[in-house]
Amino acid sequence: MAQPYTRYAGRLELAAGTATGLCQLAPGRKARPPLETACHTAAIQTPYKQRMNELVTIVIPCYMQAQYLQEAIDSVRAQTYPHWECIVVNDASPDHTAAVADAAATTDSRIRVIHKPHNEGLAAARNTGISHANGMFILPLDADDLIHPEYLQKSLAVFYNNSAVKVVYTDVWTFGDQSREVCRPEINMNELCHHNLFQPTALFKKSDFQKTDGYRKNVYGYEDWDMWLQLIEKPAHAHRIKEHLFGVRVKQQSMIIELVSDAEKERTVRRNVMHNNLARVRQWAPELLSQQHSSFFFKILKRIKSVIR
């Protein structure tokens, strides 16, 4: 099983004498070899190297996360799978996001930067990045998170071996204010209608995304949950890789912390998710529609009944 490289360190640094080699440094521990060396070895050993050559577009929206952006980009550049492009969407961030993103683009032609003139939020930023994507596959990545060097290699292998799959997600490791490993659950459609089951970073096809309404603006903080309900029609459409290949930075301030700290706002956004995905909820979680003591769910039930008639 691949091991999260951040276990070995709290920060990444360029190794002397290399162009992109990254050493992981941690107090009291030896640094691992540069990632470019490890990645080269892993790529040679993989049985999928000769089969997979489709382009993957990694979309990184960034707003007020400039201090973390370079680490996210470095984790992309460390991928064992070479056929990728990275689109950084600067959502009119007032910090030095533009400088960090532009500097990265000058050092690697696979990196492109889109500077938005006005801040429109995470959903719009992701949609903008995906609309400019050349890849067959899309991977959203928040600017403060990381992906393991083998993330793309192992996720793509699932698509190449199972044509029914629409979304591939992995287990998680956390870093920053908290360090632990998190195993995500297998997909259960009833539970997915009740709450989100996995993180915003998951691989899917652009062609499937284009059949959805995209990331919606009325579900602030739950954009990914709303997207998974659009993409996943049944359990077979989602595949979990039981390896900790995605790193979530834990910090005191985040969109989800902001959302859940405001109970009324969280309820409103949750209701919007349900309202956006009425057909899915009706099929997999009809008990939500039986809660007629809630005016919102009663309205949903009336709407569905009118459609049935």
114-135: pLDDT as tens digits: 999 999 999 999 999 999 999 9
pLDDT at site 244: 98
pLDDT at site 40: 38
Mean pLDDT of 4-23: 38
CA 244 – CA 32 distance, rounded (Å):
18
Q: Flag whether pLDDT at 238 surpasses 50.
A: yes
Question: Considering only CA atoms, which of 218, 235, 234 is closest in space to residue 226?
Answer: 218
pLDDT at site 255: 59
Same domain, 147 and 264: yes
CA 74 – CA 71 distance, rounded (Å):
5
CA 77 – CA 221 distance, rounded (Å):
27
Mean pLDDT of 16-25: 38
Measured at the CA of 255, the angle between CA 300 and CA 65, to 5 degrees, comes to 145
What percentage of the chain carries pLDDT values higher than 70? 74
In a domain, 35, yes or no: no
Mean pLDDT of 182-201: 94
What count of other Cβ atoms lies within 10 Å of the Cβ of residue 208?
A: 16
Whole-number mean pLDDT of the chain?
A: 82
Same domain, 128 and 225: yes
Question: Among 14-18, 53-57, 116-120, 285-289, where is mean pLDDT lowest?
Answer: 14-18
Mean pLDDT of 252-278: 76
State the residue for tokens 């961030």.
93
Same domain, 244 and 283: no
What range defines the domain where residue 306 resides? 277-309
Question: Among 32-36, 104-108, 204-208, where is mean pLDDT lowest?
Answer: 32-36
In a domain, 107, yes or no: yes
204-208-212-215 Cα dihedral, nearest 10 degrees: 20
CA 164 – CA 292 distance, rounded (Å):
36
Same domain, 68 and 198: yes
Mean pLDDT of 65-82: 98
pLDDT at site 251: 81
- Written as one letter, the residue type at 42 is A
pLDDT at site 158: 97
Q: Which two tokens stand for residue 240?
A: 């979990």
In a domain, 19, yes or no: no
Total domains in the fold of the chain: 2
CA 147 – CA 169 distance, rounded (Å):
11
CA 91 – CA 166 distance, rounded (Å):
28
State the residue for tokens 């920060």.
11
Q: Flag whether pLDDT at 232 surpasses 90.
A: yes
Q: What is the CATH number of the domain that holds 266?
A: 3.90.550.10
Q: Flag whether pLDDT at 3 surpasses 60.
A: no
Q: Flag whether pLDDT at 205 surpasses 70.
A: yes
Same domain, 248 and 295: no
Question: Considering only CA atoms, which of 251, 175, 140, 180 is closest in space to residue 12?
Answer: 175
In a domain, 222, yes or no: yes
Same domain, 135 and 229: yes
What percentage of the chain carries pLDDT values higher than 90? 66
Q: Flag whether pLDDT at 43 surpasses 60.
A: no
Q: Flag whether pLDDT at 307 surpasses 60.
A: no
pLDDT at site 46: 43
Q: Flag whether pLDDT at 242 surpasses 50.
A: yes
Same domain, 99 and 225: yes
Same domain, 281 and 174: no
pLDDT at site 288: 85
